[in-house]
Structure 1
């Protein structure tokens, strides 16, 4: 397969995942965790992102067709979810951490247990729809289709690039403690609420885009037929 095609896919995918933009939100969810726990959670989230990307890459279109769901409907539903999440973050309900650092055991077993607990609480919305949103899903499905129809390859050839991009996402999320120390508690709280506002705005944008696309692709043609 053409290297430039794979390169463009990787760059576009990393840009759409927007791990850097989602980092403050990830920190807000894991602010009270140890560095080791935060890294394990980052690994779990990144692994989930990889799994979701591969699934949508290979069976995205058939899956949506099977459930009778259009990408625009998926975009609107994701937008509603993001709007609710953004409002909760702005109101200070975005973090679900419990114990303070002094109460946490430092051994690997307790870190893993704590990481699993945090991961189960934040996998939705962190992995999806914040990282793997409708735009990412559409991009993956589109490139998988082009790989087969235009470049005479298979969607499987995109998986190594996807794995590399996901590894970059892990590195970004795993650097959370460094940024947390830089911002401090007050800075982190302010950043959390600002990012919550952006999450809500992204949700509204998803809904607006979905409604406009449905109107232009379905309603407008029907109205033109009536005229």
Structure 2
């Protein structure tokens, strides 16, 4: 197995998934929940992302093609959904819902969306896995790609499990400021995904 190829795969997936950056998003999305719920979200999001990425590693474009969805359409839909999440972060709708449900401890679950899909297993990481699977050129190398993907997700999980300590360090004001900033960045990322998808269809600015 080519070590250089595995290092390239690790760097590619680490940069695309960005576990460090996603930790702050994870904190914002789970702010106000208890530790048990936060750990459950962390584990569930990484497990779901691993399943989705494994599926696309083996079947790739055939999965989307079977149901008639192009990667471009996937980018646009993911961008729209992320934009809606960004609006909730910017206007405190998530915080208000959590406060309303605090007594029942019935917290919203962002593990599948948006943490697993499309933050961890988004168009970028899915496309990367499809490309790396094509480049692997053998079952042994393909297994290496899957191992690298799982390693990146384990790193993300480790960061997520430390979110409580980071949240305490930031404090309530820090969390509010961080949530607003991340909402703006998430909105920009959503718009970029939509533009990339439209550009693939030949629509957009040159």
* Class of the TM-score when normalised by the shorter of the 2 chains: 0.7 to 0.9
Measured in 1, the distance between the counterparts of 2:88 and 2:139 equals 46
1:215 corresponding residue in structure 2: 202
**Mapping of 1:18-37 within 5 angstroms?**
18-37=18-37
Deviates more, 1:156-165 or 1:206-215: 156-165
Partner SS, residue 97 of structure 1: helix
TM-score w.r.t. structure 1 length?
0.80
Measured in 2, the distance between the counterparts of 1:201 and 1:78 equals 13
Give deviations 1:90-141, integer Å, cap 9, x for gaps. Answer: 11123453555xx69xxxxxxxxx7xx6574542111111222111111111
1:146 corresponding residue in structure 2: 135
* Contact 1:30 1:97 (C-alpha < 8 Å) held by counterparts: no
Give deviations 1:40-65, integer Å, cap 9, x for gaps. Answer: 32112111111111111111211011
Give deviations 1:60-101, integer Å, cap 9, x for gaps. Answer: 21101111221111111111111111111111123453555x
Q: Which runs of 5+ in 1 are unaligned?
A: 105-113, 217-227
* Contact 1:74 1:134 (C-alpha < 8 Å) held by counterparts: yes
Matched residue count: 202
Measured in 1, the distance between the counterparts of 2:175 and 2:188 equals 20
TM-score w.r.t. structure 2 length?
0.87
**Larger Rg belongs to:** 1
Measured in 2, the distance between the counterparts of 1:21 and 1:121 equals 16
Measured in 2, the distance between the counterparts of 1:64 and 1:154 equals 24
Q: Which runs of 5+ in 2 are unaligned?
A: none
* Contact 1:44 1:119 (C-alpha < 8 Å) held by counterparts: no
* Contact 1:13 1:136 (C-alpha < 8 Å) held by counterparts: yes
1:155 corresponding residue in structure 2: 142
1:129 corresponding residue in structure 2: 118
Structure 1's 14 and 118: CA in aligned 2 closer, same or farther, altered over 3 A?
Answer: farther
Structure 1's 46 and 152: CA in aligned 2 closer, same or farther, altered over 3 A?
Answer: closer
Answer yes or no: is 1:69 the counterpart of 2:58: no
Deviates more, 1:117-126 or 1:205-214: 117-126
1:109 corresponding residue in structure 2: none
Measured in 2, the distance between the counterparts of 1:13 and 1:126 equals 16
Which residue of the other structure, out of 204, 210, 220, is the alignment partner of 2:191?
204
Measured in 2, the distance between the counterparts of 1:192 and 1:49 equals 23
Superposition RMSD on alpha carbons, in Å?
2.3
Measured in 2, the distance between the counterparts of 1:168 and 1:14 equals 9
Structure 1's 191 and 137: CA in aligned 2 closer, same or farther, altered over 3 A?
Answer: same
Measured in 1, the distance between the counterparts of 2:196 and 2:2 equals 32
Displacement, 1:25? 2.0
Answer yes or no: is 1:81 the counterpart of 2:70: no
